[in-house]
A = this chain, B = another copy of it.
Amino acid sequence: MKKLINAPDDVVKEALAGMEALHPELLRVDFENQIIVRADGPIKGKVGIISGGGSGHEPMHGGFVGYGMLDAACPGAVFTSPVPDQMLAATRAVDGGAGVLHIVKNYTGDVLNFEMAAELAAADGVEVASVVTNDDVAVQDSLYTAGRRGVGVTVLLEKIVGGLAEAGAPLPAVTELAKRVNEQGRSMGMALTSCTVPAAGVPTFELGEDEMEIGIGIHGEPGRRRVKLASASEVTEMLVSPILEDLSLKAGERVLAFVNGMGGTPLLELYVVANELAKILRGKHVTIARSLIGSYITSLEMAGCSITLLRLDDEMLRCWDAPVHTPALRWGR
């Protein structure tokens, strides 16, 4: 295992300390509760927004804490759900009196633990709403999930909904928009290589030198099928076709196109994929109105990519363009 770490058990804690050291103007880390909170929160009268999940997907979610996006994030151990206590502490920490939205990726542990935290917070008198993302068209159920997995749409949703909350919208409006973004977005990913969980020390799965996995999950869990290595053009087609079909995109519609790296794939290759994606969408007369490219929802050092398409409406577009200032996404401020 070749990694820039000290002891495997200290990776998450030390990375959090690194975040605080580099971004003190944006966030602080509550090490006792293992949560990352906005430096200027809680903000009175603003809907609080929290998310969380296993570590190993950076910058998601801690890198999205700051103005215009998340008020707090709850990082679990690598590829392990955070516990209800973290989520409860985060909910309390961000409550400004206008209620709190939980953004939950659809993995069994995350869903159960966020539900428990929501109940405990409600007993405290905090109004909590939840949205569960389940945008991965690759598989119906999986190793970690009943139903579709929550993947790339989560990143877009956190930015869009964060923009609406920052503008002062009430909890029902924020929750409604969150559900709409999830409904209008679809994703699919693939891997060229496995990743290695630090505490395990060996690759999560084996993939031959001439093989790739189509429909992979963000924990290295199996996808739709293992196939021979193919060109970027063929890979992009394999990812985009199921998305287009599921989303029923029509000529004249506009999307936010998100080309995501899994952690070990360089930007040069992501742009080659972006070119293939743009060609396919041009052929369908679908407009790329906005885009995001880079490694935003990752699987440690896995090589591969995912594609997310989000059908945009005017409110989503306005909230996407709204100012944001977090470690990983920043504009307009």
From residue A201, how far is it (CB to closest CB) to chain B in Å? 12
Beta-carbon contact of A288 and B21 below 8 Å: yes
**Interface residue total, chain A, C-beta cutoff 8 A:** 64
Beta-carbon contact of A15 and B301 below 8 Å: no
Q: Decide yes or no whether A91 CB sits under 8 A from chain B.
A: no
- Write the A174-212 contact mask toward B (1 if CB under 8 angstroms, else 0): 000000000000000000110000000000000001001
From residue A214, how far is it (CB to closest CB) to chain B in Å? 12
Q: In the complex, which of the residues B18, B55, B264 contacts A303, with contact meaning CB atoms closer than 8 Å?
A: B264
Q: Decide yes or no whether A216 CB sits under 8 A from chain B.
A: no
| Residues of chain A at the chain B interface (Cβ within 8 Å) | 2-6, 11-12, 14-19, 21-23, 55-56, 58-59, 63, 192-193, 209, 212, 229, 231-233, 235, 257, 259, 263-278, 288, 291, 293, 295, 298, 300-301, 303-305, 325, 327, 330-333
Beta-carbon contact of A3 and B192 below 8 Å: yes
Given contacts A2-B192, A5-B269, A267-B295, contact A21 B232 (CB under 8 A): no
Q: In the complex, which of the residues B6, B16, B300, B332 contacts A266, with contact meaning CB atoms closer than 8 Å?
A: B300
Besides A5-B269, A18-B274, A58-B266, 15 more A-B contacts (Cβ < 8 Å) are A2-B303, A4-B192, A4-B235, A4-B273, A11-B268, A18-B271, A18-B272, A21-B278, A22-B257, A56-B266, A58-B271, A264-B303, A330-B331, A332-B332, A332-B333
Listed residue (A229, A233, A265, A325) with the most chain B CB atoms within 10 angstroms of its CB:
A265
Given contacts A2-B192, A2-B212, contact A275 B333 (CB under 8 A): no
Given contacts A264-B301, A330-B330, A333-B332, contact A4 B58 (CB under 8 A): no
Beta-carbon contact of B271 and A19 below 8 Å: yes
Given contacts A22-B293, A274-B21, A331-B333, contact A231 B301 (CB under 8 A): no
User: Chain B: which residue is nearest A327 at the CB level?
Assistant: B293
Contacts of A268 in B (CB 8 A): 11-12, 15, 55-56, 58, 300
From residue A188, how far is it (CB to closest CB) to chain B in Å? 14
User: Chain B: which residue is nearest A56 at the CB level?
Assistant: B268
Rounded to whole angstroms, the CA-CA distance of A298 and B267 in the bound complex is 9
Contacts of A192 in B (CB 8 A): 2-4
Q: In the complex, which of the residues B209, B301, B331 contacts A2, with contact meaning CB atoms closer than 8 Å?
A: B209
Beta-carbon contact of A14 and B264 below 8 Å: no
Contacts of A235 in B (CB 8 A): 4
Q: In the complex, which of the residues B6, B21, B265 contacts A231, with contact meaning CB atoms closer than 8 Å?
A: B6
Beta-carbon contact of A275 and B14 below 8 Å: yes
Rounded to whole angstroms, the CA-CA distance of A270 and B301 in the bound complex is 12
Beta-carbon contact of A272 and B305 below 8 Å: no
From residue A13, how far is it (CB to closest CB) to chain B in Å? 9
Could you list 11 A-B pairs, sorted by A, with CB under 8 Å? Answer: A2-B209, A2-B303, A4-B192, A5-B232, A15-B268, A21-B275, A21-B277, A23-B291, A58-B267, A59-B267, A301-B303
